[in-house]
Amino acid sequence: MKPPAPRLPGGALRQFLQTEAAGGYVLMAAAAAAMLVANSPWSKTYAQVLHTDIGPLSLLHWINDGLMALFFLLVGLEIKRELVDGEMSSWSRRLLPGAAAFGGMVVPALVYLAINRDIPANRAGWAIPAATDIAFALGVLALLGSRVPASLKLLLTAIAIIDDLGAIVIIAVFYTASLNLESLGAAVAGCAVLAGLNRLRVQALWPYLVVGGCVWVAVLLSGIHATLAGVIVALAIPMRRTRGAPEDRESPLLKLEHALAPVIAFIVVPIFGFANAGVDVRGLSPMDAVAPVPLGIAAGLLIGKQLGIFGAIAVMVRSGVADMPANALWRHVWGMAVLCGIGFTMSLFIAALAFGEGSAGNNAAKLGILAGSILSALAGWAILAASPPTAAKKAHKA
305 in the same domain as 273: yes
Q: Which of 224, 257, 284 is at the close of a domain? A: 224
Percent of the chain with pLDDT over 90: 33
Average pLDDT over residues 277-285: 77
The pLDDT of residue 299 is above 90 = yes
Check residue 13 and give its pLDDT: 45
287 in the same domain as 267: yes
135 in the same domain as 61: yes
The pLDDT of residue 19 is above 60 = no
Check residue 396 and give its pLDDT: 41
Q: Are 94 and 88 in contact (CB under 8 A)?
A: yes
Q: Is residue 171 part of a domain?
A: yes
Q: Is residue 115 part of a domain?
A: yes
20 in the same domain as 82: yes
Q: Which of 127, 69, 21, 38 is nearest to 272 (CA)?
A: 69
Q: How many structural domains are present in the chain? A: 2
Phi, psi values for residue 51, rounded to 5°: -100, 15
Q: Which of 224, 257, 283 is at the close of a domain? A: 224
Q: What contacts 85, CB < 8 A, 6 or more positions away?
A: 9, 239, 241, 242
Domain residue limits at 59? 10-175+225-397
Q: Which residues pair with 57 in a beta bridge?
A: 54
Average pLDDT over residues 153-167: 82
Check residue 15 and give its pLDDT: 54
Q: Is residue 325 part of a domain?
A: yes
pLDDT greater at residue 27 or residue 105: 105
- Residue 53, helix vs strand vs coil: strand
Mean pLDDT of the chain: 83
255 in the same domain as 220: no
335 in the same domain as 237: yes
171 in the same domain as 181: no
- Tens of pLDDT, residues 164-184: 778 888 887 888 767 788 888
**For the domain that residue 51 is a member of, what is the CATH number?**
1.20.1530.10
The pLDDT of residue 104 is above 90 = yes
pLDDT greater at residue 247 or residue 211: 211
- Tens of pLDDT, residues 213-235: 999 999 888 877 777 888 889 88
115 in the same domain as 198: no
